[in-house]
Structure 1
Amino acid sequence: MAVSPLPALDTYSEQNSSFTVKHMGLVAYETAWQAMKDFTRTRTSLTSDEIWLLQHPAVYTQGIAGKPEHLLVDSNIAVIKTDRGGQITYHGPGQIIAYLLLDIRRLKLGVRELVKRMETAVIHLLNEYQIKAHGRKDMPGVYVDAAKIASLGLKIKKDCCYHGIALNVDMDLKPFSAINPCGYTGLEVTQTKDLGIEDDLDVLSYKLSDYLQKELVNKGPDISL
Protein backbone atom coordinates (compact mmCIF):
# COMPACT_ATOMS: atom_id res chain seq x y z
CA MET A 1 0.00 0.00 0.00
CA ALA A 2 1.40 3.35 -1.02
CA VAL A 3 1.17 5.97 1.70
CA SER A 4 0.99 9.64 0.76
CA PRO A 5 -0.30 12.72 2.58
CA LEU A 6 -2.99 14.94 1.09
CA PRO A 7 -2.26 18.61 1.75
CA ALA A 8 -4.51 20.14 4.45
CA LEU A 9 -6.11 16.77 5.26
CA ASP A 10 -4.66 14.04 7.45
CA THR A 11 -4.78 11.27 4.88
CA TYR A 12 -3.20 8.07 3.71
CA SER A 13 -3.84 6.53 0.32
CA GLU A 14 -4.02 3.15 -1.34
CA GLN A 15 -3.66 2.93 -5.09
CA ASN A 16 -4.86 0.19 -7.42
CA SER A 17 -5.21 0.10 -11.19
CA SER A 18 -8.54 1.92 -11.24
CA PHE A 19 -8.98 4.09 -8.15
CA THR A 20 -7.07 6.01 -5.54
CA VAL A 21 -8.67 5.34 -2.16
CA LYS A 22 -7.97 7.93 0.53
CA HIS A 23 -8.63 7.38 4.23
CA MET A 24 -9.03 10.80 5.81
CA GLY A 25 -10.28 10.29 9.35
CA LEU A 26 -12.48 13.02 10.88
CA VAL A 27 -12.85 16.01 8.54
CA ALA A 28 -15.07 19.10 8.83
CA TYR A 29 -17.85 19.01 6.24
CA GLU A 30 -16.92 22.36 4.69
CA THR A 31 -13.28 21.28 4.32
CA ALA A 32 -14.17 18.05 2.52
CA TRP A 33 -16.80 19.77 0.36
CA GLN A 34 -14.36 22.45 -0.81
CA ALA A 35 -11.71 19.81 -1.49
CA MET A 36 -14.18 17.84 -3.64
CA LYS A 37 -15.09 20.93 -5.63
CA ASP A 38 -11.43 21.84 -6.13
CA PHE A 39 -10.56 18.29 -7.20
CA THR A 40 -13.42 18.17 -9.70
CA ARG A 41 -12.69 21.64 -11.08
CA THR A 42 -9.02 20.90 -11.75
CA ARG A 43 -9.19 17.27 -12.86
CA THR A 44 -8.42 16.30 -16.46
CA SER A 45 -9.18 13.31 -18.65
CA LEU A 46 -6.02 11.69 -17.22
CA THR A 47 -6.93 12.19 -13.57
CA SER A 48 -7.45 8.98 -11.61
CA ASP A 49 -10.86 8.47 -10.02
CA GLU A 50 -10.83 8.65 -6.23
CA ILE A 51 -12.82 7.33 -3.28
CA TRP A 52 -12.53 9.31 -0.05
CA LEU A 53 -13.41 7.53 3.20
CA LEU A 54 -13.96 9.74 6.23
CA GLN A 55 -16.23 10.87 9.05
CA HIS A 56 -17.71 14.28 9.78
CA PRO A 57 -18.27 16.07 13.08
CA ALA A 58 -21.98 16.50 13.82
CA VAL A 59 -23.68 18.42 11.00
CA TYR A 60 -26.95 18.57 9.08
CA THR A 61 -26.62 18.98 5.32
CA GLN A 62 -29.44 20.16 3.09
CA GLY A 63 -29.45 19.34 -0.62
CA ILE A 64 -30.24 21.78 -3.40
CA ALA A 65 -33.93 20.83 -3.32
CA GLY A 66 -34.01 20.77 0.47
CA LYS A 67 -36.98 22.29 2.27
CA PRO A 68 -36.34 24.04 5.60
CA GLU A 69 -39.49 22.56 7.15
CA HIS A 70 -37.79 19.16 7.23
CA LEU A 71 -35.72 20.48 10.15
CA LEU A 72 -38.33 19.88 12.82
CA VAL A 73 -36.77 21.52 15.88
CA ASP A 74 -34.08 24.07 16.58
CA SER A 75 -30.72 22.50 17.27
CA ASN A 76 -27.20 23.56 18.15
CA ILE A 77 -26.01 21.42 15.24
CA ALA A 78 -25.13 23.50 12.17
CA VAL A 79 -27.20 23.19 9.00
CA ILE A 80 -25.17 23.55 5.80
CA LYS A 81 -26.84 24.12 2.43
CA THR A 82 -24.83 22.10 -0.03
CA ASP A 83 -24.85 21.33 -3.75
CA ARG A 84 -25.72 17.65 -3.72
CA GLY A 85 -29.10 16.29 -4.65
CA GLY A 86 -31.65 15.31 -2.04
CA GLN A 87 -33.12 16.80 1.10
CA ILE A 88 -31.75 17.02 4.64
CA THR A 89 -29.67 14.39 6.42
CA TYR A 90 -27.37 14.09 9.42
CA HIS A 91 -23.69 13.22 9.55
CA GLY A 92 -21.70 12.52 12.69
CA PRO A 93 -18.82 10.49 14.12
CA GLY A 94 -19.37 6.76 13.74
CA GLN A 95 -20.80 7.07 10.24
CA ILE A 96 -18.76 6.06 7.19
CA ILE A 97 -18.77 8.67 4.45
CA ALA A 98 -17.62 7.39 1.06
CA TYR A 99 -17.19 10.26 -1.37
CA LEU A 100 -16.92 9.20 -5.01
CA LEU A 101 -14.97 11.51 -7.30
CA LEU A 102 -15.50 9.84 -10.64
CA ASP A 103 -15.37 10.51 -14.36
CA ILE A 104 -18.69 8.83 -15.06
CA ARG A 105 -18.37 9.17 -18.82
CA ARG A 106 -15.09 7.26 -18.72
CA LEU A 107 -16.74 4.62 -16.53
CA LYS A 108 -19.67 4.53 -18.98
CA LEU A 109 -22.18 5.01 -16.19
CA GLY A 110 -25.41 6.97 -16.25
CA VAL A 111 -26.54 8.60 -13.03
CA ARG A 112 -29.31 6.10 -12.35
CA GLU A 113 -26.96 3.16 -12.89
CA LEU A 114 -24.33 4.77 -10.68
CA VAL A 115 -26.85 5.20 -7.86
CA LYS A 116 -27.92 1.58 -8.18
CA ARG A 117 -24.33 0.35 -8.04
CA MET A 118 -23.62 2.47 -4.95
CA GLU A 119 -26.65 0.97 -3.24
CA THR A 120 -25.69 -2.52 -4.38
CA ALA A 121 -22.23 -2.19 -2.84
CA VAL A 122 -23.80 -1.50 0.58
CA ILE A 123 -26.30 -4.33 0.10
CA HIS A 124 -23.49 -6.79 -0.64
CA LEU A 125 -21.56 -5.56 2.41
CA LEU A 126 -24.53 -6.16 4.69
CA ASN A 127 -25.29 -9.51 3.05
CA GLU A 128 -21.80 -10.59 4.10
CA TYR A 129 -23.10 -10.35 7.69
CA GLN A 130 -26.38 -12.11 6.86
CA ILE A 131 -28.26 -8.81 6.99
CA LYS A 132 -30.87 -8.62 4.23
CA ALA A 133 -30.95 -5.09 2.84
CA HIS A 134 -32.63 -3.51 -0.15
CA GLY A 135 -33.01 -0.34 -2.14
CA ARG A 136 -36.24 1.44 -2.98
CA LYS A 137 -37.15 2.96 -6.34
CA ASP A 138 -39.07 5.80 -4.67
CA MET A 139 -36.48 6.59 -1.98
CA PRO A 140 -32.76 6.41 -2.87
CA GLY A 141 -30.61 4.77 -0.22
CA VAL A 142 -30.33 1.37 1.48
CA TYR A 143 -32.86 -0.04 3.92
CA VAL A 144 -33.13 -2.91 6.39
CA ASP A 145 -36.83 -3.66 6.65
CA ALA A 146 -38.33 -0.13 6.83
CA ALA A 147 -35.31 1.56 8.44
CA LYS A 148 -32.71 3.48 6.46
CA ILE A 149 -29.10 2.51 7.07
CA ALA A 150 -27.39 4.39 4.22
CA SER A 151 -28.19 7.63 2.40
CA LEU A 152 -26.71 9.01 -0.79
CA GLY A 153 -26.49 12.19 -2.80
CA LEU A 154 -24.46 13.26 -5.81
CA LYS A 155 -23.42 16.33 -7.74
CA ILE A 156 -22.78 15.89 -11.46
CA LYS A 157 -20.59 18.46 -13.19
CA LYS A 158 -19.12 18.13 -16.69
CA ASP A 159 -19.53 14.32 -16.75
CA CYS A 160 -17.88 13.96 -13.34
CA CYS A 161 -19.45 13.40 -9.94
CA TYR A 162 -18.69 14.09 -6.31
CA HIS A 163 -20.42 13.58 -2.94
CA GLY A 164 -21.43 9.95 -2.34
CA ILE A 165 -22.88 7.62 0.28
CA ALA A 166 -23.11 7.56 4.08
CA LEU A 167 -23.39 4.31 6.05
CA ASN A 168 -24.48 4.39 9.69
CA VAL A 169 -22.13 2.22 11.77
CA ASP A 170 -21.81 3.16 15.46
CA MET A 171 -23.11 6.66 16.01
CA ASP A 172 -25.54 8.69 18.08
CA LEU A 173 -28.79 8.38 16.12
CA LYS A 174 -30.72 10.89 18.23
CA PRO A 175 -30.02 13.88 15.93
CA PHE A 176 -32.01 12.12 13.19
CA SER A 177 -35.12 12.64 15.33
CA ALA A 178 -34.85 16.41 14.77
CA ILE A 179 -35.34 16.06 11.01
CA ASN A 180 -37.40 14.25 8.43
CA PRO A 181 -34.47 12.17 7.16
CA CYS A 182 -34.05 12.72 3.43
CA GLY A 183 -37.38 14.55 3.45
CA TYR A 184 -39.55 11.63 4.58
CA THR A 185 -41.80 12.04 7.61
CA GLY A 186 -41.34 9.40 10.29
CA LEU A 187 -38.57 7.54 8.48
CA GLU A 188 -36.72 5.26 10.89
CA VAL A 189 -32.94 4.94 10.80
CA THR A 190 -30.69 2.13 11.93
CA GLN A 191 -26.98 1.26 12.02
CA THR A 192 -24.72 -1.77 11.73
CA LYS A 193 -24.00 -1.93 15.47
CA ASP A 194 -27.70 -2.25 16.28
CA LEU A 195 -28.01 -5.07 13.74
CA GLY A 196 -25.39 -7.14 15.53
CA ILE A 197 -22.38 -6.38 13.33
CA GLU A 198 -19.34 -6.23 15.60
CA ASP A 199 -16.72 -5.13 13.06
CA ASP A 200 -15.68 -1.54 13.63
CA LEU A 201 -15.70 1.46 11.37
CA ASP A 202 -12.18 0.87 10.03
CA VAL A 203 -12.94 -2.71 8.96
CA LEU A 204 -16.25 -1.73 7.40
CA SER A 205 -14.63 1.20 5.58
CA TYR A 206 -12.19 -1.10 3.83
CA LYS A 207 -14.93 -3.56 2.96
CA LEU A 208 -17.23 -0.84 1.64
CA SER A 209 -14.40 0.52 -0.48
CA ASP A 210 -13.78 -2.92 -1.98
CA TYR A 211 -17.45 -3.45 -2.81
CA LEU A 212 -17.76 0.01 -4.33
CA GLN A 213 -14.72 -0.56 -6.56
CA LYS A 214 -16.06 -3.90 -7.77
CA GLU A 215 -19.46 -2.41 -8.56
CA LEU A 216 -18.04 0.63 -10.33
CA VAL A 217 -15.73 -1.36 -12.60
CA ASN A 218 -17.65 -4.57 -13.19
CA LYS A 219 -21.39 -5.06 -13.02
CA GLY A 220 -21.98 -7.39 -10.10
CA PRO A 221 -24.88 -9.80 -9.58
CA ASP A 222 -28.23 -8.18 -10.21
CA ILE A 223 -30.14 -7.21 -7.08
CA SER A 224 -33.78 -6.27 -7.39
CA LEU A 225 -34.37 -2.86 -5.84
Structure 2
Amino acid sequence: MSACVRTLGRRDYLPVWRDMQAFTACREAGTPDELWCVEHPPVFTLGLAGRREHLLHDIDVPVVDSDRGGQVTYHGPGQVIIYTLLDLRRAGLGVRELVRRIEQAVIELLADHDIRSQRREGAPGIYVGTGADEAKIAALGLRVRNGCTYHGVSLNVDMDLSPFAAINPCGYSGLRVTQTRDLGLDLPPEVLGRQLTDALQRVLYPPRT
Protein backbone atom coordinates (compact mmCIF):
# COMPACT_ATOMS: atom_id res chain seq x y z
CA MET A 1 0.00 0.00 0.00
CA SER A 2 1.16 3.53 -0.73
CA ALA A 3 -0.21 7.00 -1.26
CA CYS A 4 -0.97 8.71 -4.54
CA VAL A 5 1.52 11.54 -5.05
CA ARG A 6 0.42 14.81 -6.62
CA THR A 7 2.94 17.49 -7.57
CA LEU A 8 1.09 20.81 -7.59
CA GLY A 9 3.91 23.24 -8.33
CA ARG A 10 3.65 26.77 -6.92
CA ARG A 11 0.11 27.57 -5.84
CA ASP A 12 -1.53 30.03 -3.46
CA TYR A 13 -2.12 28.72 0.03
CA LEU A 14 -5.85 29.40 0.34
CA PRO A 15 -7.16 27.36 -2.63
CA VAL A 16 -4.90 24.43 -1.77
CA TRP A 17 -6.18 24.50 1.80
CA ARG A 18 -9.78 24.52 0.56
CA ASP A 19 -8.98 21.61 -1.77
CA MET A 20 -7.59 19.63 1.18
CA GLN A 21 -10.75 20.26 3.16
CA ALA A 22 -12.95 19.21 0.24
CA PHE A 23 -10.92 16.06 -0.43
CA THR A 24 -11.12 15.05 3.23
CA ALA A 25 -14.85 15.77 3.48
CA CYS A 26 -15.59 13.57 0.46
CA ARG A 27 -13.39 10.63 1.45
CA GLU A 28 -14.89 7.16 1.63
CA ALA A 29 -13.50 4.03 3.28
CA GLY A 30 -11.67 3.00 0.12
CA THR A 31 -10.35 6.42 -0.92
CA PRO A 32 -6.58 6.14 -1.43
CA ASP A 33 -4.32 8.35 0.68
CA GLU A 34 -2.59 11.20 -1.10
CA LEU A 35 0.60 13.22 -0.64
CA TRP A 36 0.54 16.68 -2.19
CA CYS A 37 3.91 18.28 -2.91
CA VAL A 38 3.55 22.04 -3.26
CA GLU A 39 5.31 25.37 -2.94
CA HIS A 40 3.51 28.55 -1.85
CA PRO A 41 4.05 32.24 -2.58
CA PRO A 42 4.90 34.17 0.62
CA VAL A 43 2.28 33.71 3.34
CA PHE A 44 2.07 33.54 7.13
CA THR A 45 -0.37 30.97 8.48
CA LEU A 46 -1.82 30.89 11.98
CA GLY A 47 -2.90 27.59 13.50
CA LEU A 48 -6.09 27.07 15.47
CA ALA A 49 -4.33 28.07 18.68
CA GLY A 50 -2.34 30.79 16.95
CA ARG A 51 -2.01 34.13 18.73
CA ARG A 52 -1.50 37.28 16.71
CA GLU A 53 0.98 38.56 19.26
CA HIS A 54 3.45 36.19 17.57
CA LEU A 55 3.19 38.33 14.43
CA LEU A 56 5.87 40.85 15.38
CA HIS A 57 6.10 43.09 12.31
CA ASP A 58 3.95 43.87 9.29
CA ILE A 59 6.11 43.13 6.24
CA ASP A 60 3.29 43.12 3.68
CA VAL A 61 2.98 39.32 3.65
CA PRO A 62 -0.61 38.03 3.83
CA VAL A 63 -1.78 36.26 6.98
CA VAL A 64 -4.20 33.34 6.80
CA ASP A 65 -6.07 31.91 9.79
CA SER A 66 -5.74 28.21 9.11
CA ASP A 67 -7.33 25.17 10.76
CA ARG A 68 -4.14 23.23 11.38
CA GLY A 69 -2.59 22.72 14.76
CA GLY A 70 0.20 24.92 16.06
CA GLN A 71 1.00 28.62 16.09
CA VAL A 72 2.38 30.81 13.31
CA THR A 73 4.75 29.84 10.52
CA TYR A 74 5.94 31.16 7.18
CA HIS A 75 5.71 29.54 3.75
CA GLY A 76 7.50 30.86 0.71
CA PRO A 77 9.25 29.94 -2.53
CA GLY A 78 12.12 27.52 -2.04
CA GLN A 79 10.37 25.61 0.74
CA VAL A 80 9.17 22.04 0.19
CA ILE A 81 5.70 21.34 1.58
CA ILE A 82 4.16 17.87 1.66
CA TYR A 83 0.51 17.73 2.64
CA THR A 84 -0.39 14.34 4.10
CA LEU A 85 -3.99 13.38 3.36
CA LEU A 86 -4.25 10.10 5.23
CA ASP A 87 -6.90 7.80 6.67
CA LEU A 88 -5.64 7.22 10.21
CA ARG A 89 -8.29 4.65 11.05
CA ARG A 90 -7.39 2.47 8.11
CA ALA A 91 -3.69 2.78 8.92
CA GLY A 92 -4.26 2.05 12.61
CA LEU A 93 -2.31 5.18 13.57
CA GLY A 94 -2.85 7.75 16.29
CA VAL A 95 -1.89 11.37 15.81
CA ARG A 96 1.24 11.13 17.97
CA GLU A 97 2.52 8.16 16.00
CA LEU A 98 1.79 9.94 12.73
CA VAL A 99 3.75 12.98 13.92
CA ARG A 100 6.63 10.71 14.95
CA ARG A 101 6.68 9.02 11.55
CA ILE A 102 6.57 12.27 9.60
CA GLU A 103 9.44 13.61 11.71
CA GLN A 104 11.33 10.36 11.14
CA ALA A 105 11.00 10.76 7.37
CA VAL A 106 12.69 14.18 7.59
CA ILE A 107 15.41 12.84 9.90
CA GLU A 108 16.14 9.97 7.51
CA LEU A 109 16.16 12.23 4.45
CA LEU A 110 18.66 14.60 6.05
CA ALA A 111 20.78 11.66 7.29
CA ASP A 112 21.01 10.40 3.71
CA HIS A 113 22.83 13.67 3.00
CA ASP A 114 25.03 13.49 6.11
CA ILE A 115 23.01 16.09 8.03
CA ARG A 116 22.32 15.13 11.62
CA SER A 117 18.97 16.29 12.95
CA GLN A 118 16.70 15.63 15.89
CA ARG A 119 13.32 16.18 17.49
CA ARG A 120 12.73 18.56 20.38
CA GLU A 121 10.54 17.38 23.24
CA GLY A 122 7.19 19.17 23.26
CA ALA A 123 7.93 21.15 20.09
CA PRO A 124 6.99 19.21 16.92
CA GLY A 125 9.33 19.62 13.99
CA ILE A 126 12.94 18.85 13.18
CA TYR A 127 16.00 20.72 14.40
CA VAL A 128 19.71 20.77 13.58
CA GLY A 129 22.59 21.79 15.80
CA THR A 130 22.59 21.91 19.58
CA GLY A 131 22.47 24.52 22.31
CA ALA A 132 22.86 28.08 21.05
CA ASP A 133 23.43 26.74 17.53
CA GLU A 134 20.13 24.85 17.38
CA ALA A 135 17.83 25.87 14.51
CA LYS A 136 14.56 24.57 13.11
CA ILE A 137 14.64 23.22 9.60
CA ALA A 138 11.22 21.55 9.29
CA ALA A 139 7.83 22.44 10.73
CA LEU A 140 4.76 20.28 11.13
CA GLY A 141 1.06 20.96 11.59
CA LEU A 142 -1.95 18.68 11.12
CA ARG A 143 -5.72 18.66 11.26
CA VAL A 144 -7.77 15.52 11.94
CA ARG A 145 -11.36 15.32 10.75
CA ASN A 146 -13.46 12.13 10.85
CA GLY A 147 -10.36 10.04 11.42
CA CYS A 148 -8.49 11.52 8.44
CA THR A 149 -5.68 14.05 8.34
CA TYR A 150 -4.65 16.94 6.15
CA HIS A 151 -1.99 19.68 6.27
CA GLY A 152 1.49 18.23 6.81
CA VAL A 153 5.19 19.12 6.88
CA SER A 154 7.39 21.89 5.46
CA LEU A 155 11.15 21.67 4.88
CA ASN A 156 13.24 24.78 4.34
CA VAL A 157 15.44 24.19 1.29
CA ASP A 158 16.56 27.28 -0.65
CA MET A 159 14.48 30.29 0.37
CA ASP A 160 14.56 33.80 1.74
CA LEU A 161 14.51 33.20 5.51
CA SER A 162 14.18 36.86 6.46
CA PRO A 163 10.34 36.77 6.88
CA PHE A 164 10.81 34.41 9.82
CA ALA A 165 12.30 37.40 11.69
CA ALA A 166 8.86 39.06 11.56
CA ILE A 167 7.28 36.30 13.66
CA ASN A 168 7.93 34.07 16.64
CA PRO A 169 8.25 30.89 14.58
CA CYS A 170 5.83 28.27 15.88
CA GLY A 171 5.21 30.57 18.84
CA TYR A 172 8.80 30.50 20.17
CA SER A 173 10.51 33.84 20.71
CA GLY A 174 14.05 33.88 19.33
CA LEU A 175 13.75 30.50 17.59
CA ARG A 176 16.37 30.28 14.87
CA VAL A 177 15.55 28.74 11.50
CA THR A 178 17.81 27.32 8.83
CA GLN A 179 17.64 25.52 5.49
CA THR A 180 19.37 22.73 3.64
CA ARG A 181 21.29 25.10 1.34
CA ASP A 182 22.94 26.75 4.33
CA LEU A 183 23.96 23.31 5.60
CA GLY A 184 25.86 22.55 2.40
CA LEU A 185 23.15 20.55 0.65
CA ASP A 186 22.96 22.01 -2.84
CA LEU A 187 19.85 20.30 -4.21
CA PRO A 188 16.82 22.20 -5.53
CA PRO A 189 13.39 22.00 -3.89
CA GLU A 190 11.92 19.78 -6.59
CA VAL A 191 14.59 17.13 -5.99
CA LEU A 192 14.30 17.21 -2.21
CA GLY A 193 10.52 17.22 -2.57
CA ARG A 194 10.68 13.90 -4.41
CA GLN A 195 13.12 12.50 -1.88
CA LEU A 196 10.98 13.58 1.08
CA THR A 197 7.89 12.10 -0.56
CA ASP A 198 9.76 8.79 -0.98
CA ALA A 199 10.87 8.91 2.66
CA LEU A 200 7.30 9.53 3.80
CA GLN A 201 6.07 6.57 1.75
CA ARG A 202 8.63 4.34 3.47
CA VAL A 203 7.74 5.35 7.03
CA LEU A 204 3.99 5.60 6.52
CA TYR A 205 3.58 2.36 4.57
CA PRO A 206 6.24 -0.07 5.80
CA PRO A 207 6.21 -3.56 4.24
CA ARG A 208 3.89 -5.96 6.00
CA THR A 209 5.63 -8.97 7.49
TM-score, length-scaled by structure 1: 0.89
Which consecutive aligned stretches of 4+ in structure 1 deviate over 3 angstroms post-superposition?
none
Hey, what's the Cα distance between the residues in 1 that align with 2:22 and 2:118? 34
Hey, what's the Cα distance between the residues in 1 that align with 2:174 and 2:122? 16
Match of 2:144 in 1: 156
Q: Aligned pair count?
A: 203
Match of 1:193 in 2: 181
* 1:75 to partner: Cα distance: 2.0
Are residue 34 (structure 1) and residue 39 (structure 2) matched?
no
| Residue from 216, 222, 225 that aligns with 2:204 | 216
Greater relative contact order (Cα 8 A, min sep 6): structure 1 or 2? Answer: 2
Match of 2:157 in 1: 169
Q: Deviations over 1:97-137 (max 9, x none)?
A: 10000001111110000000000000000001110000112
Hey, what's the Cα distance between the residues in 2 that align with 1:131 and 1:172? 21
Match of 2:61 in 1: 77
Q: Deviations over 1:73-111 (max 9, x none)?
A: 122001100000000000000000100000011111100
- Give the alignment's Cα RMSD to 1 decimal: 0.9
* 1:168 to partner: Cα distance: 0.2
Aligned partner of 1:81: which letter?
D
Aligned partner of 2:45: which letter?
T
Match of 1:63 in 2: 47
Structure 2 residue runs of 5 or longer lacking an equivalent are: none
Hey, what's the Cα distance between the residues in 1 that align with 2:201 and 2:89? 16
Aligned partner of 1:88: which letter?
V
What is the percentage of aligned positions where both structures have the same residue? 53
Are residue 126 (structure 1) and residue 114 (structure 2) matched?
no
Hey, what's the Cα distance between the residues in 2 that align with 1:199 and 1:39? 31
Hey, what's the Cα distance between the residues in 2 that align with 1:218 and 1:139? 26
Structure 1 residue runs of 5 or longer lacking an equivalent are: 1-16, 220-225
Aligned partner of 1:139: which letter?
A
Hey, what's the Cα distance between the residues in 2 that align with 1:217 and 1:20? 12
Q: Deviations over 1:199-220 (max 9, x none)?
A: 111111111001001100129x
Hey, what's the Cα distance between the residues in 1 that align with 2:54 and 2:190? 32
Match of 2:83 in 1: 99
Match of 1:205 in 2: 193
Match of 2:36 in 1: 52
Q: Deviations over 1:5-42 (max 9, x none)?
A: xxxxxxxxxxxx42100001001000100000000001
Hey, what's the Cα distance between the residues in 1 that align with 2:15 and 2:121? 32
Aligned partner of 1:191: which letter?
Q
